[in-house]
Amino acid sequence: MINTVKIEESIHFLGVNDRETHLFENLWPLDKGVSYNSYLIHDEKIAVIDTVKSTKMDAFIEKIGGIIGDKPVDYLIINHMEPDHSGAIKAVREKYPNVKIVGNKKTFEFLEDFYGIMDHHYMIDDGDVLDLGKHQLKFYLTPMVHWPETMMTYETTSKTLFSGDAFGGFGALDGGVFDDEVNLEFYTDEIRRYYSNIVGKYGAMVQKALKKLKDAGIDIQVVAPTHGPVWRSNPSCIINYYDKWSKAETEEGVVIVYGSMYGNTQKMADFIARKLSEKGIKNIRIYDASKTHVSYIISDIWRFKGVVLGSCAYNTGLFPAMEAVIHKIENSQLKNRYLGIFGTASWSGGGVSTLNQFAEKIKWQKIGESVEAKSSPKEKEFEMCQQIADEMAQLLIHERV
């Protein structure tokens, strides 16, 4: 028996879970899995919205058949061409040869380049409407959230926004599909990790898309993204999260990330954390960059206002695990953070000086003087670490409302 999950009587959830893949985009750990969400509208005309990764195409095609039997799919709407969603387009075409593929000009460029598909196109432009019978689909082009062709599809009867990757997150859907069926605490962390690593660089474009939806005046009762829970009880919750994260808004707290070979730089990290705690800061996260994947570190940096980075020197430069951290921060163009810097030198420097160069480029508000201890921290360096902690805590506490 195939489980069917419905948003409303004729709108079906076709999502599949992936708990096998280790790395999303072959980069980001999927410890808690991921879902590839797709949807089917069963009307006079039948429309499928987005597909799934190719490894899941059999289960996906089976789900479609379980709902519509021998009827054909009339339209396949493609909100996003990244292969975790476009991977079953060919399978849909093979099963339903007359299906029209609905997308914008850029969609069809990718469709040809990835899959060599050059026919049965149904090209739409911003604001166009497709009539399925009782349901109408209205299309909103939202480029660079997070690819050039990305768009959203709004169903006017159920007031459902099929949003593509926007409003999505990591985490397989373990039974619960809707926001009111799951523990949102579990998903919020995974949604922020998804946002910060996959979409975060395009915050300005997320803001543009949110403005477009607002200006259009559409009433969004359900947010149905391509990953993670479907938001039917509190859609504004996920919209507000994306709004806040794309504006680089923060919570009170400090993320301390360090690279340390023999524990001397780590000592400084622990010292700064304790001093922050003594000053009343409760959200303090310390990460050893060698151990924790950068995607988790970035997710917390996206959340909290304070960042303190530390490194020992390694072969006259920055400790390699810290290179991944600063590269990811720079690449995501995150703004509006406080930054403290510490570390150690031994037979050469290079760790702290590279972090100082990073500080000049990133233009976050620098806190205290950078501290560099020779081989191991002594009284003087601990005092400087305390200054970073004191100044950071003072600024954060000052911002309390």
- The site for ligand FEO (CB under 6 A) is made up of 80, 82, 84-85, 146, 165, 226-227
CA-to-CA separations, 346 to 271, 310, 316, 317, in angstroms, rounded? 20, 14, 9, 11
* Strand-pair partners of 48: 40, 76
Q: Residue 318: what are its φ and ψ, rounded to 5°? A: -75, 150
* Strand-pair partners of 251: 304
- Token pair belonging to 113: 């380049």
On whether the CB atoms of residues 47 and 137 are closer than 8 A, the answer is yes
Which H or E run includes 36? strand 34-36
Give 165 or 179: the residue with its C-beta nearer to ligand FEO: 165
Q: How far is the CB of 227 from ligand FEO (least distance, A)?
A: 6
Q: How far is the CB of 168 from ligand FEO (least distance, A)?
A: 7
Q: How far is the CB of 15 from ligand FEO (least distance, A)?
A: 12
What does the alpha-carbon distance between residue 138 and residue 238 come to, in Å, rounded to a whole number? 21
Give 195 or 258: the residue with its C-beta nearer to ligand FEO: 195
Q: How far is the CB of 26 from ligand FEO (least distance, A)?
A: 13
On whether the CB atoms of residues 334 and 301 are closer than 8 A, the answer is yes
Which residue lies nearest ligand FEO, judged by its C-beta? Answer: 82
Give 53 or 267: the residue with its C-beta nearer to ligand FEO: 53
Give 165 or 323: the residue with its C-beta nearer to ligand FEO: 165
Q: Letter for the amino acid at 155? A: E
Give 226 or 386: the residue with its C-beta nearer to ligand FEO: 226
Q: How far is the CB of 231 from ligand FEO (least distance, A)?
A: 17
* b/e per residue 9-18 (b: at least 16 CB within 10 A): ebbbbbbbbb
On whether the CB atoms of residues 85 and 51 are closer than 8 A, the answer is yes
Give 59 or 144: the residue with its C-beta nearer to ligand FEO: 144
On whether the CB atoms of residues 10 and 41 are closer than 8 A, the answer is yes
Q: How far is the CB of 184 from ligand FEO (least distance, A)?
A: 20
Give 82 or 189: the residue with its C-beta nearer to ligand FEO: 82
Q: How far is the CB of 92 from ligand FEO (least distance, A)?
A: 17
What does the alpha-carbon distance between residue 336 and residue 320 come to, in Å, rounded to a whole number? 25
